[in-house]
C-alpha cells in the first residue's frame, strides 16, 4: 500500500501577522487605505467626550472598517459581524483584533444618521479624482426591498381599529371555549399556560394597535387620501413587486454610466417614485455637469417632472407608459410572453357590450353619423347641442336620445341600467391636438428618435448591474433596521461598499 504524509488537524498555536492578511489589490486593502488616509472622520470622533473621564471607546475608524467589510461579505446582522470579528482572520486584521460586541456594532450603525452622507460624498470625491465618474449619463432607478416590519400590521386607521376589535374577539373566543369546556365539570379549572399566553398576546397586540391609532395622525397622499400606516415601522409602506406585496422601502440610486459609480442614494417609504426624481438630481449636483444626461424609466415620468427639468435646462430622457407601444421593435413582443397553464380553459369568453358594465351597450356600440348626431343599436337618433366641454387634455361632447324613443325601445334593458332613467345619454371624449412645443411632447419626440433610443438603451445596462451586485453578491435581500433614517443609513453603507469596490478595482496598489 502507498504511504502518505499524515494529516493532523489537532489544535495548535500558529503565528499570524495580522498586517500581512491585508493584501494589495483586495477590497479590504482599499478600505483600510481610504479610511486611514483619504476620509475625514473628525465628525465621528466628535461623538465621544471621554478624554478625561469615562471608559475607553472603540475607535470609530475601526468600527467603520468592520461594518463595511462585513457588508461586502454579505454579513448584515450585528451578531454575525461580531462572530466574524472573533473567528475570521480578515476581520481580526482590519480591526486590530478589537472584538466589539454585537450591541456596540448595532449602536454604531444606528448612530451614523448625520455622518453617513458626508462619508458618502468623500468617497464620491475620491472616485472623481481617480477618473471613475464620466458625467455623460446618470441613470436613476429604484429597487423595492422589504424591511423589518410585518405587513399584517398595516392598514388605514379604520382598518387598524377593526383589527384591534378582531384581536379582542379572538381572545374572548378562546376564553369562551375554555369556559364551555368547564361547564360540565364540578369546579372550574385554570387556563393552561399556552392558552393564557395566547390570550395575553392578543390583548397586548390590540392595546398596541389602539394606542398607535390614538397617538398618531393618518398618513395622507398629495391628493388628501389616507395611506396605509404600519404599526411596526410607520415610515415604511406596502409596495407591489413582481413577487407579491411587501412591506418595505424603495431604495433609490443614481448611477454614472462610465464605471457604474453610485453618485446619489436615498430611500422613500412610498411605492411611487415620481417625487424622488428631482431630489435625486439635486443630490447628484456635486458631480453633475451641465451636459450630463439624466435617464429614468416610466415610474419617474410626470408632467411636473418634465416641466421642472425643462425650466432648469437639465438634459433628460424620461420614458412614458406608451413608449414601447410606439416603438416598432416591440410590435411582436406579445409572442414572447409566458403562456398560461397547459390545461386551462381555451374557450374564448363571450364578448360583453361594455367591459366595465357587463351586459349593457357602451359608446362603442353607437354609430356617429355626423358632427352632432349618432345612432343607437336600436336605430334611434341621439342629438348633441354641439357644445364642447374641456376635461383635461380632452373635450367632451354629450349626446341625448328622446325620452319617447327610449320608453318604447325593446333594447332598453340592455341600454339603461336604472329604471327611473328617462333616456340614454352618452359622452364622447375627443383628444385635443398636441402642442409640439410643450415639454412633455418634446420629451416624447426626443426619446422616440433613433439617437434617443440609442441613449436610453444604455440606462438599464448602467443601473441594473448595480442592484444585482448589492442584492445578489452583497445579499441585501431586506433592510434589518426600522425607520427611514436608519434604513437610509444602511442603504448608503451598502452604496459605499459598492463605490469602494470600484476604487479597489481601479487603483494599482503598491
Which residues have C-beta within 8 Å of that of residue 298, sequence separation ≥ 6? 318, 319, 320, 321, 323
Nearest to 506 by CA among 139, 261, 288, 262: 261
Nearest to 285 by CA among 257, 259, 250, 312: 312
Q: Which three cell numbers stand for residue 460?
A: 438599464
Q: Give residue 317's pLDDT band: very low, low, confident or very high (50, 70, 90).
A: very high
| Helix ranges restricted to H, 360-415 | 403-407, 412-415
pLDDT digits (tens, 9 = 90+) for 290-305: 999 999 999 999 989 9
Nearest to 85 by CA among 61, 108, 66, 57: 66
Give the mean pLDDT of 46-67. Answer: 84
Q: Give residue 348's pLDDT band: very low, low, confident or very high (50, 70, 90).
A: low
Report the share of the chain in percent with pLDDT over 70. Answer: 92
Nearest to 302 by CA among 403, 439, 206, 162: 439
DSSP summary character for residue 469? I
pLDDT digits (tens, 9 = 90+) for 178-234: 777 766 655 566 677 888 888 899 999 999 999 999 988 888 877 788 888 899 999
Residue 387: per-residue pLDDT: 85
Residue 176: per-residue pLDDT: 85
User: What pTM value is reported for the model?
Assistant: 0.81
**Residue corresponding to grid cell 454614472:** 256
CA separation for the pair 176, 183 (Å, rounded): 10
The gap from C-alpha 304 to its chain's centroid, in whole angstroms, comes to 21
CA separation for the pair 290, 345 (Å, rounded): 57
Task: Find the angle CA(200)-CA(203)-CA(204) to the nearest 5 degrees.
Answer: 85
CA separation for the pair 83, 76 (Å, rounded): 12
CA separation for the pair 104, 485 (Å, rounded): 19
Residue 419: per-residue pLDDT: 83
Higher-confidence residue of 350 and 48: namely 48
Average per-residue pLDDT for the chain: 87
Give the mean pLDDT of 4-9. Answer: 90
Give the mean pLDDT of 111-136. Answer: 93
Amino acid at each position: 500500500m502507498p504511504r502518505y504524509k499524515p494529516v493532523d488537524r489537532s489544535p495548535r498555536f500558529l503565528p499570524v501577522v495580522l498586517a500581512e492578511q491585508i493584501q494589495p489589490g483586495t477590497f479590504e486593502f482599499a478600505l483600510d487605505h481610504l479610511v486611514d488616509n483619504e476620509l475625514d472622520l473628525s465628525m465621528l470622533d466628535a461623538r465621544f467626550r471621554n478624554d478625561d473621564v469615562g471608559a475607553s471607546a472603540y475607535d470609530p475608524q475601526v468600527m467603520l472598517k468592520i461594518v463595511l467589510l462585513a457588508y461586502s461579505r454579505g454579513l448584515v446582522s450585528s451578531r454575525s459581524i461580531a462572530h466574524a470579528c472573533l473567528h475570521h482572520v480578515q476581520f481580526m486584521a482590519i480591526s486590530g483584533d478589537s472584538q466589539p460586541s454585537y450591541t456596540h456594532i448595532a449602536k454604531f450603525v444606528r448612530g451614523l444618521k448625520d455622518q453617513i452622507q458626508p462619508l458618502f460624498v468623500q468617497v464620491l470625491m475620491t472616485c472623481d479624482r481617480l477618473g471613475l465618474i464620466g458625467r455623460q449619463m446618470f441613470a436613476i432607478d429604484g429597487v423595492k426591498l422589504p424591511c423589518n416590519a410585518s405587513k399584517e400590521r398595516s392598514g388605514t386607521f379604520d382598518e387598524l381599529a377593526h383589527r384591534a376589535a378582531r384581536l379582542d374577539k379572538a381572545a374572548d373566543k378562546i376564553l369562551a371555549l375554555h369556559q364551555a369546556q368547564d361547564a360540565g365539570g364540578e369546579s372550574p379549572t385554570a387556563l393552561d399556560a399556552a392558552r393564557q399566553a395566547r390570550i395575553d398576546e392578543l390583548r397586548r397586540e390590540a392595546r398596541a394597535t389602539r394606542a398607535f391609532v390614538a397617538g398618531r395622525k393618518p398618513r395622507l397622499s398629495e391628493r388628501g387620501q389616507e395611506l396605509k400606516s404600519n404599526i411596526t415601522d410607520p415610515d415604511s409602506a406596502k409596495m407591489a413587486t413582481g413577487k407579491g406585496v411587501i412591506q418595505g422601502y424603495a431604495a433609490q440610486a443614481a448611477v454614472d454610466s462610465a464605471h457604474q459609480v453610485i453618485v446619489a442614494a436615498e430611500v422613500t417609504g412610498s411605492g411611487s417614485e415620481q417625487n424622488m426624481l428631482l431630489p435625486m438630481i439635486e443630490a447628484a449636483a456635486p458631480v453633475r455637469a451641465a451636459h450630463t444626461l439624466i435617464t429614468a424609466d416610466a415610474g419617474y415620468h410626470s408632467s411636473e417632472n418634465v416641466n421642472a427639468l425643462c425650466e432648469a435646462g437639465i438634459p433628460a430622457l424620461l420614458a412614458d407608459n406608451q413608449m414601447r407601444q410606439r416603438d416598432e421593435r416591440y410590435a411582436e413582443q406579445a409572442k414572447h410572453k409566458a403562456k398560461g397553464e397547459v390545461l386551462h380553459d381555451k374557450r374564448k369568453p363571450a364578448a360583453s357590450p361594455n367591459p366595465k358594465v357587463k351586459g349593457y351597450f357602451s359608446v362603442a356600440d353607437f354609430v356617429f353619423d355626423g358632427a352632432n348626431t349618432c345612432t343607437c343599436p336600436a336605430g334611434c337618433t341621439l342629438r348633441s347641442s354641439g357644445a364642447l366641454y374641456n376635461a383635461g387634455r380632452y373635450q367632451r361632447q354629450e349626446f341625448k336620445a328622446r325620452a319617447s324613443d327610449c320608453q318604447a325601445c325593446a333594447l332598453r334593458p340592455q341600454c339603461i341600467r336604472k329604471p327611473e332613467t328617462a333616456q340614454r345619454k352618452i359622452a364622447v371624449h375627443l383628444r385635443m391636438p398636441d402642442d409640439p412645443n410643450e415639454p412633455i411632447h418634446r420629451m416624447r419626440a426626443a426619446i422616440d428618435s433613433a439617437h434617443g433610443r440609442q441613449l436610453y438603451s444604455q440606462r438599464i445596462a448602467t443601473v441594473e448591474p448595480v442592484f444585482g451586485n448589492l442584492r445578489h453578491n452583497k445579499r441585501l435581500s431586506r433592510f434589518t433596521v426600522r425607520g427611514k433614517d436608519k434604513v437610509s443609513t444602511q442603504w448608503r453603507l451598502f452604496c459605499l461598499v459598492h463605490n469602494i469596490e470600484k476604487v479597489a478595482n481601479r487603483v494599482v496598489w503598491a
